[in-house]
Amino acid sequence: MGIHEIQESLPLLSLNHVSFVCKSVIDSVKFYQEVLGFVLIKRPSSFDFEGAWLFNYGIGIHLLQCSSDSAAPRTPSVINPKDNHISFQCTNISLVKRRLEEMGIEYITAVVIDGGIQIDQLFFHDPDGYMIEICDCQKLPVLPLTTQPLNKPSHAAPIKQKKLRSVVSATSICSVVETDWMRI
């Protein structure tokens, strides 16, 4: 059966997570918490490799410790908006710029104008060189180019409000990352 013969789409609910191989899970956890506001969450203890799971904004980020230096991601030297990236929408791009500047994070900006609507974008790298975009893309209407209906996103698993542990410094991140529930 070829891909063009399928009459019905897969029974998908929503995007669950993105996964990144990291040189240092500890450094990446700190970055995603402090820069993007992600929260460290429990992950299955049956995993036999190191990593961490984070969650916020309805999406998970799974960080995996690379197994060797040769497997480590290579940090790009140039920020390229046309490179692979994940994108987050924001309500105040000026505030995002100011915060990135306060944290000393290099970024570039771009502007897209379509149908009289201006979209502001900024791009930067995480500690492993993965590209991140912050934009106000919610200004653009989603206009399907086919008659196939769009599915409404479904909700993720319920979030338990029980606080496992506050992670406030690289030292405490280190101790949290080494616990059994952090093993991927």
- CA-based nearest residue to 177, from 35, 69, 29, 57: 29
Task: Name the catalytic one among 34, 50, 133, 178.
Answer: 133
The burial class, CB within 10 Å (0-12 / 13-18 / 19+), for 22 is buried
Tokens 């492993």 found at: 128
Q: Please provide the size of the chain in residues.
A: 184
DSSP annotation of 183 reads B
102 is known as an active-site residue: no
- List strand residue ranges (DSSP E) for the chain, in order: 17-22, 39-41, 51-56, 59-65, 85-89, 108-114, 117-125, 131-135
Contact 119, 140 (CB under 8 A): yes
Tokens 């190191």 found at: 50
- List strand residue ranges (DSSP E) for 10-58, in order: 17-22, 39-41, 51-56
- Catalytic residue annotation: 133
